[in-house]
């Protein structure tokens, strides 16, 4: 929670958009990156689950082909987590529901829980649930780009990019510029729109790439490209508002930077 508070207190956008030539995700050689760097990237994103006063997760049990399955849900959206508690759990078991509440953790916590469960061969399934709206946005974009997709299986991320690289943004308390991986299509669209207004000629081939969070994490685990350190997971607008509520002095970067974009060449390969 302290890490989330720190993020809520410092998150913001300042300065200009810049053209960044970062290598494509999914085309990199396999050399593992330090786990602490992966955890650090995931730490900035809140997720929400149901926990009782004893610190226990709400475990949902169901039968699948005569086999009992235990599942714990983590939600990208706090509203979805609350709705799950208020609508489904309270309807099925009001007494049980009264002992649980929506609790924020970080995506890093979720990742570590899953990794620990794999080591212990825990049969419990820890499921990360995206918002339905963003699943639909991902499917629509992929279909528009020529991919025939009936449904998107995973957690969609939206990456603003040009023909030869990705857009980058400044991040507080850092001299570096980073490629934002947004959990909402609307955030990626806002950044692209600002870039198009500033340099329409540069932005004529601009678009939004759809990636899957799990694939990105796998790439972080197996990439030898130093540019992977330039990718940053950017929380949804709802999550940013939540983080802001943790710290009254925090900023809420719901809009892209307004300064004129500049251009930098792609890194040499």
Is the distance from CB of 71 to CB of 60 less than 8 angstroms? yes
Architecture of domain 47-129: 3-Layer(aba) Sandwich (3.40)
Q: What is the pLDDT of residue 203?
A: 79
**Which DSSP category does 30 fall into?**
B
Strand segments (E) across 117-243: 125-129, 156-162, 165-170, 177-182, 207-212, 231-234
pTM confidence score: 0.79
Question: 2-44+131-253 architecture in CATH?
Answer: 3-Layer(aba) Sandwich (3.40)
Query: By CB neighbour count within 10 A (0-12 exposed, 13-18 middle, 19+ buried), where does 6 fall?
Result: middle
Provide the pLDDT for residue 3: 43
Q: What is the pLDDT of residue 29?
A: 34
Cβ contact 110:128 at 8 Å:
yes
Token look-up 């061969």 returns 121
Four-point Cα dihedral 144, 150, 155, 156, nearest 10: 0
120 CB-side CA count, 13 A: 10
Instruction: State the Cα–Cα distance between residues 22 and 230, nearest whole angstrom.
Output: 8
Nearest of 231, 136, 220, 152 to residue 185 by alpha carbon: 136
Beta-bridge mates of residue 45: none
SS (H, E, C) 52-118: CCCCCECCEEEEECCEEEEEEEEECCHHHHHHHHHHHHHHHCHHHHCCCEEEEEEHHHHHHHHHHHH
CB 230 within 8 A of CB 28: no
* Binned average pLDDT, 10 residues per bin, the chain of 269 residues: 40 33 29 72 92 90 77 95 94 92 94 91 90 96 88 93 84 81 96 88 86 92 78 93 74 36 34
Q: Alpha-carbon distance 132 to 113, whole Å?
A: 24
Residues of the chain with CATH 3.40.1350.100: 2-44+131-253, 47-129
> Measuring CA to CA, how many Å separate 71 from each of 114, 123, 129, 213, 261?
12, 9, 12, 20, 46
């Amino acid at each position: 929670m302290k890490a989330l508070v720190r993020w809520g207190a410092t998150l913001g956008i300042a300065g200009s958009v810049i053209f960044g030539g970062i290598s494509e995700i999914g085309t990199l050689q396999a050399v593992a990156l330090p786990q602490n760097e992966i955890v650090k990237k995931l730490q900035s994103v809140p997720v929400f689950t149901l926990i009782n006063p004893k610190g226990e997760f709400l475990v949902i049990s169901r039968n699948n082909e005569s086999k009992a399955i235990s599942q714990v849900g983590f939600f990208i959206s706090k509203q979805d987590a609350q709705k799950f508690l208020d609508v489904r759990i309270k309807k099925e078991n009001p007494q049980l529901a009264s002992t649980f509440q929506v609790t924020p953790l970080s995506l890093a916590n979720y990742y570590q829980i899953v990794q620990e469960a794999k080591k212990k061969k825990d049969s419990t399934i820890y499921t990360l649930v995206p918002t339905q709206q963003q699943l639909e946005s991902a499917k629509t974009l992929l279909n528009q780009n020529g991919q025939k997709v009936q449904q998107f299986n995973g957690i969609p991320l939206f990456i603003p990019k040009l023909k030869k690289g990705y857009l980058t943004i400044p991040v507080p308390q850092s001299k570096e510029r980073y490629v934002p991986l947004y959990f909402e299509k609307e955030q990626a669209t806002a950044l692209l729109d600002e870039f198009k207004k500033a340099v329409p000629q540069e932005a004529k081939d601009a678009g939004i790439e759809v990636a899957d969070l799990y694939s990105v994490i796998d790439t972080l685990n197996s990439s030898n490209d130093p540019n992977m350190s330039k990718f940053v997971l950017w929380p949804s607008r709802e999550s940013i508002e939540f983080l802001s509520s943790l710290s009254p002095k925090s900023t809420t970067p719901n809009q892209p930077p307004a300064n004129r974009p500049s251009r930098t060449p792609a890194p040499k390969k």
